[in-house]
Amino acid sequence: MPLVSNTTKRRLGSGQMALGFGVHHLRTIATPVLAAATGHDWMFIDTEHGAFSVQETTQLCIAALPTGVTPIVRVCAGAIDEATRALDNGALGIVVPHVDTAAQAKRIADAFHYPPQGHRSWGGPPAVYGYKPPSTAEAQAAINAEILTIVMLESPEAIANADAIAAVAGVDVLFIGTSDLTAELGISGQMGHPKVIAAYQAVGEACAKHGKTLGMGGVYDEENASRYVGMGARFILTGSDHSYIMAGADNRTAFFNGLPAAPGR
């Protein structure tokens, strides 16, 4: 069987926007179908802040593959071993948070790619081939080319090192963790602060120079999100199951409570 296509990588490669559906609460296999039904290109399974087991994570990844929604997993900063297990069981992209230096980015790129590009270990039935892979050499080369390696820049040190991080071969996306970045800058939650705009400018220039994609996380208000998309952000998280449920449910209670006939409110 052919390798499952990474539709998000393809979109980013042609300069298009790729929209992510964050997953925190859901464990049902319907999740990727819901992401597709709502116009998303990728699913962001957050194991940095969500309580997913590796089994739960990879069941969602495997379920996403035939839907065309790209399964992308965020691991904890030190959990590179969990990242390769996710890749072995269906993930087509990994987000590593808190990457501050080019040396860290290089270690991550090495861990996620098979030799000669890196040092990833081969093993287990290859889910991304629908369990029917070609020869190992051919499969390893194809998988190296298909996965997305995404590093998160979310500190002043990382922003200062953006050019060197963008230069690392095997890193595809520089994803700004805007929420943690503002906390580190002492301007927590100020998504439109000049220092944040300057950070997007610096990372955007580094990406443009080295042919990498700029990503935006943590910015959900329309004014600031519009600005950063205007500055080149293409790998974009639209929200998460949590925020979608809260917004939708709030909207419904507001409607009923706002009815003139609503008693007792």
Partner 1 sequence: MAIYHNAAKRALADGGLALGFGLHHLRSNAAPMLAKAGGHDHIFIDMEHGAFTMQEATQLCIAALPHGIAPIVRVCAGALDEATRLLDNGALGIVVPHVDTAARAQEVADAFHYPPQGTRSWGGPPAVFGYIAPHVAEAQAAINAEILTLVMIESPEGVANADAIAAVKGVDVLLVGSFDLTSSMGIAGQFKHPRTIEAWQTIANAARRHGKVLGIGGISDDEDCARAIGMGSRFITTGNDHSFMVNGSIAAAKRTREQVASVTK
Residues lying near partner 1 in the complex (CB under 8 A): 1, 28-30, 33-34, 36-37, 59, 62-63, 65-67, 125, 127, 130-132
Q: Closer to partner 1 at the Cβ: 34 or 237?
A: 34
Catalytic residue among 25, 40, 49, 113: 49
Smallest distance from the beta carbon of 68 to partner 1, in angstroms? 8
Smallest distance from the beta carbon of 29 to partner 1, in angstroms? 5
Give the orientation angle of helix 222-230 with respect to helix 194-210, to 10 degrees.
30
Q: Closer to partner 1 at the Cβ: 131 or 251?
A: 131
Smallest distance from the beta carbon of 34 to partner 1, in angstroms? 6
Q: Closer to partner 1 at the Cβ: 59 or 70?
A: 59
Which phi and psi (to 5°) does residue 252 adopt?
-70, -45
Contact between 63 and 42 under an 8 Å Cβ cutoff? The reply is no
For the chain, first and last CA: distance in Å? 59
Q: What is the dihedral angle through the alpha carbons of 249, 254, 260, 262, rounded to the nearest 10 degrees?
A: 50
- Beta-ladder partners of 93: 72, 148
Smallest distance from the beta carbon of 200 to partner 1, in angstroms? 34
Query: Could you give the angle at the alpha carbon of 58 between the alpha carbons of 54 and 62, nearest 5°?
Result: 175
d(CA 78, CA 76): 6
Stated as kind and residue range, the H or E segment containing 196 is helix 194-210
**Which residues in 203-241 are b (16+ Cβ under 10 Å) and which e?**
bbbbbeebebbbbbbbbbeeebbebbeeebbbbbbbbbb
Smallest distance from the beta carbon of 55 to partner 1, in angstroms? 9
The answer to whether 49 is a known catalytic residue is yes
Q: Of the candidates 40, 85, 92, which has an alpha carbon nearest to the alpha carbon of residue 61?
A: 92
Catalogue the active-site residues. 49
